[in-house]
Amino acid sequence: MTTATARAHPNIALVKYWGKRDEELMLPAAGSLSLTLDAYATTTTVSLDPSATEDRFVLGGAAATPGQTVQVTRFLDLVRARAGSAARADSSAHAVVDSRNEAPTGAGLASSASGFAALAVAAAAAYGLDLDRTELSRLARRGSGSATRSLVAGLGIWHAGDDDASSFAEPIEGPEMSMVIVTVDPGQKKVSSREGMRRTAATSPYYSGWVDSTARSLEEMSAACRAGDFTRVGEITESNALRMHAAIEACEPPIRYLRSTSVAVFDAVEQLRTRGIEAYATADAGPNVVVISRPAEAEAVAEHLADHGDVRIVGAGPGAHLIPTEESA
Ligand code: DP6
Protein backbone atom coordinates (compact mmCIF):
# COMPACT_ATOMS: atom_id res chain seq x y z
CA MET A 1 0.00 0.00 0.00
CA THR A 2 1.41 3.44 -0.81
CA THR A 3 -1.44 5.48 0.61
CA ALA A 4 -3.02 4.87 3.98
CA THR A 5 -5.38 6.78 6.28
CA ALA A 6 -5.69 6.42 10.04
CA ARG A 7 -7.82 7.93 12.75
CA ALA A 8 -6.81 8.46 16.38
CA HIS A 9 -8.26 10.17 19.44
CA PRO A 10 -6.53 12.09 22.21
CA ASN A 11 -6.26 10.64 25.70
CA ILE A 12 -6.40 12.19 29.16
CA ALA A 13 -4.05 10.75 31.76
CA LEU A 14 -5.32 9.76 35.21
CA VAL A 15 -1.72 9.06 36.26
CA LYS A 16 0.42 11.58 34.40
CA TYR A 17 3.55 11.22 32.31
CA TRP A 18 5.86 14.12 33.13
CA GLY A 19 9.56 13.55 32.55
CA LYS A 20 11.79 11.37 30.37
CA ARG A 21 14.71 9.23 31.28
CA ASP A 22 15.81 8.99 27.63
CA GLU A 23 14.91 11.79 25.18
CA GLU A 24 16.22 10.01 22.12
CA LEU A 25 14.15 6.86 22.66
CA MET A 26 11.39 8.82 24.45
CA LEU A 27 11.41 6.53 27.46
CA PRO A 28 9.42 8.00 30.36
CA ALA A 29 10.71 8.43 33.90
CA ALA A 30 7.62 6.55 35.16
CA GLY A 31 4.61 4.72 33.73
CA SER A 32 1.21 6.37 33.27
CA LEU A 33 -2.45 5.51 32.70
CA SER A 34 -5.10 7.24 30.61
CA LEU A 35 -8.51 7.13 28.97
CA THR A 36 -8.64 7.43 25.18
CA LEU A 37 -11.56 9.71 24.31
CA ASP A 38 -14.43 9.35 21.84
CA ALA A 39 -14.07 12.95 20.62
CA TYR A 40 -11.61 15.34 18.97
CA ALA A 41 -10.17 12.80 16.51
CA THR A 42 -7.23 13.37 14.18
CA THR A 43 -7.46 11.84 10.69
CA THR A 44 -4.21 11.50 8.78
CA THR A 45 -3.43 10.28 5.26
CA VAL A 46 0.12 9.36 4.27
CA SER A 47 0.79 9.04 0.52
CA LEU A 48 4.22 8.05 -0.76
CA ASP A 49 5.59 10.18 -3.57
CA PRO A 50 8.74 8.58 -5.02
CA SER A 51 9.39 11.64 -7.23
CA ALA A 52 9.35 14.16 -4.33
CA THR A 53 12.60 15.55 -2.92
CA GLU A 54 11.21 16.23 0.56
CA ASP A 55 8.21 15.41 2.76
CA ARG A 56 5.20 17.71 2.72
CA PHE A 57 2.95 18.17 5.74
CA VAL A 58 -0.51 19.66 5.30
CA LEU A 59 -2.33 20.43 8.55
CA GLY A 60 -5.99 21.42 8.50
CA GLY A 61 -5.82 22.08 4.76
CA ALA A 62 -2.80 24.45 4.87
CA ALA A 63 0.96 23.92 4.75
CA ALA A 64 2.29 23.22 8.27
CA THR A 65 5.08 25.35 9.76
CA PRO A 66 8.70 24.38 9.02
CA GLY A 67 9.08 23.27 12.67
CA GLN A 68 6.05 20.97 12.46
CA THR A 69 7.28 19.59 9.13
CA VAL A 70 10.71 18.78 10.59
CA GLN A 71 9.03 16.79 13.39
CA VAL A 72 7.02 14.81 10.85
CA THR A 73 10.09 14.16 8.68
CA ARG A 74 12.06 12.90 11.69
CA PHE A 75 9.23 10.55 12.50
CA LEU A 76 8.93 9.31 8.91
CA ASP A 77 12.71 8.72 8.91
CA LEU A 78 12.18 6.15 11.68
CA VAL A 79 9.48 4.45 9.64
CA ARG A 80 11.64 4.53 6.47
CA ALA A 81 14.57 3.03 8.35
CA ARG A 82 12.37 0.13 9.46
CA ALA A 83 10.88 -0.31 6.00
CA GLY A 84 14.40 -0.26 4.56
CA SER A 85 15.63 -2.99 6.86
CA ALA A 86 12.51 -4.98 5.95
CA ALA A 87 13.52 -4.46 2.29
CA ARG A 88 10.21 -2.86 1.31
CA ALA A 89 9.91 -1.23 -2.11
CA ASP A 90 9.61 2.57 -1.86
CA SER A 91 11.17 2.49 1.60
CA SER A 92 13.16 5.65 0.91
CA ALA A 93 10.34 7.64 -0.76
CA HIS A 94 9.23 10.97 0.63
CA ALA A 95 5.58 11.39 1.55
CA VAL A 96 2.71 13.82 1.65
CA VAL A 97 1.07 13.82 5.08
CA ASP A 98 -2.40 15.34 5.24
CA SER A 99 -3.77 15.70 8.76
CA ARG A 100 -6.99 17.13 10.17
CA ASN A 101 -7.92 17.71 13.81
CA GLU A 102 -11.52 17.78 14.99
CA ALA A 103 -10.56 19.56 18.21
CA PRO A 104 -11.17 23.30 18.16
CA THR A 105 -7.80 25.04 17.85
CA GLY A 106 -6.43 26.05 21.21
CA ALA A 107 -8.83 23.96 23.31
CA GLY A 108 -5.76 22.18 24.62
CA LEU A 109 -6.96 18.97 23.01
CA ALA A 110 -5.55 19.27 19.49
CA SER A 111 -2.97 17.07 21.05
CA SER A 112 0.24 15.60 19.82
CA ALA A 113 -1.14 12.29 21.17
CA SER A 114 -3.82 11.82 18.51
CA GLY A 115 -1.53 13.37 15.89
CA PHE A 116 1.39 10.99 16.31
CA ALA A 117 -0.83 7.97 16.96
CA ALA A 118 -2.63 8.54 13.65
CA LEU A 119 0.67 9.25 11.88
CA ALA A 120 2.26 6.06 13.22
CA VAL A 121 -0.62 3.87 12.01
CA ALA A 122 -0.95 5.55 8.59
CA ALA A 123 2.81 5.78 7.92
CA ALA A 124 3.49 2.16 8.93
CA ALA A 125 0.78 0.96 6.52
CA ALA A 126 1.84 3.29 3.68
CA TYR A 127 5.44 2.04 3.92
CA GLY A 128 4.25 -1.57 3.94
CA LEU A 129 5.10 -2.45 7.55
CA ASP A 130 2.82 -4.96 9.23
CA LEU A 131 3.00 -3.92 12.88
CA ASP A 132 0.80 -5.09 15.76
CA ARG A 133 -0.69 -2.73 18.35
CA THR A 134 2.28 -3.05 20.70
CA GLU A 135 4.75 -2.21 17.94
CA LEU A 136 2.62 0.72 16.78
CA SER A 137 2.39 1.98 20.36
CA ARG A 138 6.20 1.88 20.62
CA LEU A 139 6.50 3.67 17.28
CA ALA A 140 4.00 6.41 18.23
CA ARG A 141 6.01 6.96 21.42
CA ARG A 142 8.94 8.19 19.34
CA GLY A 143 6.79 11.10 18.09
CA SER A 144 5.24 12.12 21.40
CA GLY A 145 5.13 10.24 24.69
CA SER A 146 1.39 10.57 25.24
CA ALA A 147 0.75 9.18 21.72
CA THR A 148 1.91 5.78 23.04
CA ARG A 149 -1.43 5.47 24.87
CA SER A 150 -3.71 6.55 21.98
CA LEU A 151 -3.17 3.15 20.33
CA VAL A 152 -5.31 1.66 23.08
CA ALA A 153 -9.12 1.89 23.29
CA GLY A 154 -10.49 3.23 26.57
CA LEU A 155 -8.24 2.81 29.61
CA GLY A 156 -4.62 2.13 28.77
CA ILE A 157 -1.50 1.69 30.86
CA TRP A 158 1.88 2.77 29.46
CA HIS A 159 4.59 0.68 31.03
CA ALA A 160 7.72 2.76 31.60
CA GLY A 161 9.73 -0.29 30.49
CA ASP A 162 13.48 -0.81 30.60
CA ASP A 163 14.17 -0.17 26.92
CA ASP A 164 12.52 0.56 23.57
CA ALA A 165 10.95 -2.92 23.35
CA SER A 166 9.32 -2.85 26.79
CA SER A 167 7.93 0.72 26.80
CA PHE A 168 4.42 0.53 25.29
CA ALA A 169 0.75 0.83 26.25
CA GLU A 170 -1.84 -1.91 26.65
CA PRO A 171 -5.50 -1.99 27.72
CA ILE A 172 -6.52 -2.26 31.37
CA GLU A 173 -9.99 -2.98 32.74
CA GLY A 174 -11.56 -0.29 34.90
CA PRO A 175 -14.77 1.32 36.11
CA GLU A 176 -17.06 3.11 33.66
CA MET A 177 -16.47 6.84 33.67
CA SER A 178 -17.25 10.04 31.81
CA MET A 179 -15.04 13.06 31.49
CA VAL A 180 -16.32 16.62 31.58
CA ILE A 181 -13.87 18.87 29.79
CA VAL A 182 -13.97 22.42 31.14
CA THR A 183 -12.27 24.88 28.81
CA VAL A 184 -11.54 27.88 31.01
CA ASP A 185 -9.06 29.44 28.57
CA PRO A 186 -8.89 28.55 24.87
CA GLY A 187 -5.45 30.22 24.42
CA GLN A 188 -2.24 28.39 23.54
CA LYS A 189 -0.07 27.13 26.40
CA LYS A 190 3.05 29.21 27.01
CA VAL A 191 5.57 26.45 27.73
CA SER A 192 5.32 23.21 25.71
CA SER A 193 5.13 19.90 27.58
CA ARG A 194 8.51 18.91 26.18
CA GLU A 195 10.20 22.06 27.46
CA GLY A 196 8.26 22.01 30.74
CA MET A 197 9.38 18.43 31.42
CA ARG A 198 13.01 19.30 30.74
CA ARG A 199 12.87 22.25 33.10
CA THR A 200 11.12 20.25 35.82
CA ALA A 201 13.73 17.48 35.65
CA ALA A 202 16.59 19.98 35.63
CA THR A 203 15.45 22.47 38.26
CA SER A 204 12.51 21.30 40.39
CA PRO A 205 13.61 20.11 43.82
CA TYR A 206 10.47 17.96 43.87
CA TYR A 207 11.18 16.08 40.64
CA SER A 208 12.52 12.91 42.24
CA GLY A 209 9.59 12.90 44.69
CA TRP A 210 7.24 13.26 41.75
CA VAL A 211 8.78 10.35 39.83
CA ASP A 212 8.90 8.05 42.88
CA SER A 213 5.35 8.82 43.97
CA THR A 214 4.02 8.42 40.41
CA ALA A 215 5.42 4.92 40.16
CA ARG A 216 3.59 4.08 43.43
CA SER A 217 0.40 5.84 42.29
CA LEU A 218 0.42 3.79 39.10
CA GLU A 219 0.51 0.54 41.06
CA GLU A 220 -2.35 1.71 43.27
CA MET A 221 -4.27 3.02 40.25
CA SER A 222 -3.91 -0.28 38.41
CA ALA A 223 -5.28 -2.14 41.43
CA ALA A 224 -8.17 0.34 41.76
CA CYS A 225 -8.97 -0.04 38.04
CA ARG A 226 -8.94 -3.82 38.21
CA ALA A 227 -11.21 -3.68 41.26
CA GLY A 228 -13.60 -1.31 39.42
CA ASP A 229 -13.22 1.11 42.34
CA PHE A 230 -14.33 4.45 40.86
CA THR A 231 -13.82 6.37 44.09
CA ARG A 232 -10.21 5.32 44.49
CA VAL A 233 -9.53 5.92 40.78
CA GLY A 234 -10.85 9.47 41.21
CA GLU A 235 -8.89 10.17 44.40
CA ILE A 236 -5.61 9.01 42.88
CA THR A 237 -6.32 10.99 39.69
CA GLU A 238 -6.76 14.27 41.55
CA SER A 239 -3.79 13.88 43.87
CA ASN A 240 -1.50 12.78 41.04
CA ALA A 241 -2.45 15.85 38.97
CA LEU A 242 -1.86 18.23 41.87
CA ARG A 243 1.50 16.60 42.58
CA MET A 244 2.54 17.08 38.96
CA HIS A 245 1.57 20.76 39.09
CA ALA A 246 3.37 21.19 42.42
CA ALA A 247 6.59 19.81 40.90
CA ILE A 248 6.16 22.05 37.83
CA GLU A 249 5.45 25.19 39.86
CA ALA A 250 8.68 24.60 41.81
CA CYS A 251 10.81 25.01 38.64
CA GLU A 252 13.26 27.83 38.15
CA PRO A 253 12.10 30.00 36.50
CA PRO A 254 8.65 28.81 37.66
CA ILE A 255 6.00 27.52 35.29
CA ARG A 256 2.35 27.87 36.23
CA TYR A 257 -0.09 26.15 33.90
CA LEU A 258 -3.07 26.46 36.25
CA ARG A 259 -4.78 29.83 36.44
CA SER A 260 -7.13 31.16 39.10
CA THR A 261 -10.01 30.09 36.84
CA SER A 262 -8.63 26.51 36.82
CA VAL A 263 -8.32 26.45 40.60
CA ALA A 264 -11.94 27.63 40.83
CA VAL A 265 -12.97 24.46 38.96
CA PHE A 266 -11.06 22.30 41.47
CA ASP A 267 -12.99 24.17 44.21
CA ALA A 268 -16.32 23.57 42.45
CA VAL A 269 -15.50 19.86 42.13
CA GLU A 270 -14.78 19.67 45.85
CA GLN A 271 -18.14 21.33 46.47
CA LEU A 272 -19.86 18.70 44.30
CA ARG A 273 -18.35 15.98 46.48
CA THR A 274 -19.71 17.58 49.64
CA ARG A 275 -23.13 17.35 47.97
CA GLY A 276 -22.67 13.64 47.37
CA ILE A 277 -21.74 13.78 43.67
CA GLU A 278 -18.46 12.00 43.09
CA ALA A 279 -16.31 14.05 40.74
CA TYR A 280 -12.54 14.43 40.60
CA ALA A 281 -10.44 16.96 38.71
CA THR A 282 -7.23 16.74 36.70
CA ALA A 283 -5.35 19.12 34.39
CA ASP A 284 -2.58 18.75 31.82
CA ALA A 285 0.06 21.28 30.81
CA GLY A 286 -2.42 24.12 30.46
CA PRO A 287 -5.25 25.90 32.28
CA ASN A 288 -8.15 23.67 31.23
CA VAL A 289 -9.58 21.15 33.67
CA VAL A 290 -10.97 17.68 33.03
CA VAL A 291 -13.40 16.23 35.57
CA ILE A 292 -14.14 12.54 35.86
CA SER A 293 -17.50 11.29 37.07
CA ARG A 294 -19.75 8.28 36.91
CA PRO A 295 -21.57 8.36 33.54
CA ALA A 296 -25.00 8.75 35.19
CA GLU A 297 -23.84 11.91 36.99
CA ALA A 298 -21.92 13.56 34.14
CA GLU A 299 -24.84 15.84 33.17
CA ALA A 300 -25.18 17.13 36.73
CA VAL A 301 -21.43 17.71 36.92
CA ALA A 302 -21.40 19.56 33.59
CA GLU A 303 -24.30 21.74 34.69
CA HIS A 304 -22.57 22.63 37.94
CA LEU A 305 -19.36 23.59 36.11
CA ALA A 306 -20.92 25.46 33.18
CA ASP A 307 -20.30 28.88 34.76
CA HIS A 308 -16.54 28.26 34.62
CA GLY A 309 -16.12 27.82 30.86
CA ASP A 310 -17.23 25.72 27.92
CA VAL A 311 -18.15 22.22 29.07
CA ARG A 312 -18.28 19.04 27.02
CA ILE A 313 -18.99 15.48 28.17
CA VAL A 314 -16.86 12.77 26.56
CA GLY A 315 -16.39 9.05 27.12
CA ALA A 316 -14.13 6.15 26.19
CA GLY A 317 -13.14 5.92 22.53
CA PRO A 318 -11.31 3.57 20.16
CA GLY A 319 -7.57 3.09 19.75
CA ALA A 320 -5.85 4.46 16.64
CA HIS A 321 -6.85 2.45 13.57
CA LEU A 322 -6.72 2.39 9.78
CA ILE A 323 -9.76 3.52 7.84
CA PRO A 324 -10.50 3.22 4.12
CA THR A 325 -8.72 6.16 2.46
CA GLU A 326 -11.86 7.32 0.58
CA GLU A 327 -13.60 8.03 3.93
CA SER A 328 -11.04 10.65 4.79
CA ALA A 329 -12.03 12.95 1.93
C1 DP6 B 1 0.70 16.76 30.92
O2 DP6 B 1 3.27 13.65 25.33
O3 DP6 B 1 2.85 16.10 24.88
O4 DP6 B 1 -0.37 15.76 29.04
O5 DP6 B 1 6.48 13.36 24.98
O6 DP6 B 1 7.45 15.63 24.99
O7 DP6 B 1 5.74 15.02 23.26
P8 DP6 B 1 6.25 14.80 24.67
O9 DP6 B 1 5.12 15.34 25.65
P10 DP6 B 1 3.55 15.05 25.67
O11 DP6 B 1 3.26 15.31 27.23
C12 DP6 B 1 2.03 15.04 27.84
C13 DP6 B 1 2.02 15.58 29.22
C14 DP6 B 1 0.70 15.59 29.95
C15 DP6 B 1 0.52 14.33 30.78
C16 DP6 B 1 0.10 13.06 30.08
O17 DP6 B 1 -0.53 13.10 29.01
O18 DP6 B 1 0.40 11.99 30.65
* CA–CA separation, 3 and 8 (whole Å): 17
pLDDT of residue 81: 96
In a domain, 325, yes or no: no
142 lines ligand 1 (CB under 6 A): no
- Same domain? 28 vs 160: yes
In a domain, 22, yes or no: yes
At residue 153, what is the residue type?
A
In a domain, 126, yes or no: yes
98 lines ligand 1 (CB under 6 A): no
Tally of structural domains, the chain:
2
Q: Which domain holds residue 122?
A: 3-172
For the domain that residue 138 is a member of, what is the CATH number?
3.30.230.10
In a domain, 213, yes or no: yes
The alpha carbon of 274 and the centre of ligand 1 are apart by a number of angstroms equal to 32
- Same domain? 144 vs 225: no
pLDDT of residue 329: 42
- Same domain? 55 vs 198: no
pLDDT of residue 8: 98
pLDDT of residue 320: 98
Residue at which a domain ends, from 120, 143, 172: 172
Residue at which a domain ends, from 149, 172, 195: 172
Among candidate residues 91, 105, 127, the one with its CA nearest the CA of residue 59: 105
- Same domain? 160 vs 189: no
pLDDT of residue 34: 98
Residue at which a domain ends, from 128, 154, 172: 172
Q: What is the per-residue pLDDT across 157-177, written as a single tens digit (0 to 9) for each?
A: 999 999 999 999 999 999 999
pLDDT of residue 246: 98
Minimum-distance ligand 1 atom for the alpha carbon of 26: 5
The alpha carbon of 52 and the centre of ligand 1 are apart by a number of angstroms equal to 32
- Same domain? 165 vs 201: no
Full pLDDT tens readout for the chain, 329 residues:
599 999 999 999 999 999 999 999 999 999 999 999 999 999 999 999 999 999 999 999 999 999 999 999 999 999 999 998 877 778 899 999 999 999 876 556 667 999 999 999 999 999 999 999 999 999 999 999 999 999 999 999 999 999 999 999 999 999 999 999 999 987 766 899 999 999 999 999 999 999 999 999 999 999 999 999 999 999 999 999 999 999 999 999 999 999 999 999 999 999 999 999 999 999 999 999 999 999 999 999 999 999 999 999 999 999 999 998 764 44
**% of the chain exceeding 70 in pLDDT:** 96
In a domain, 321, yes or no: no
- Same domain? 17 vs 150: yes
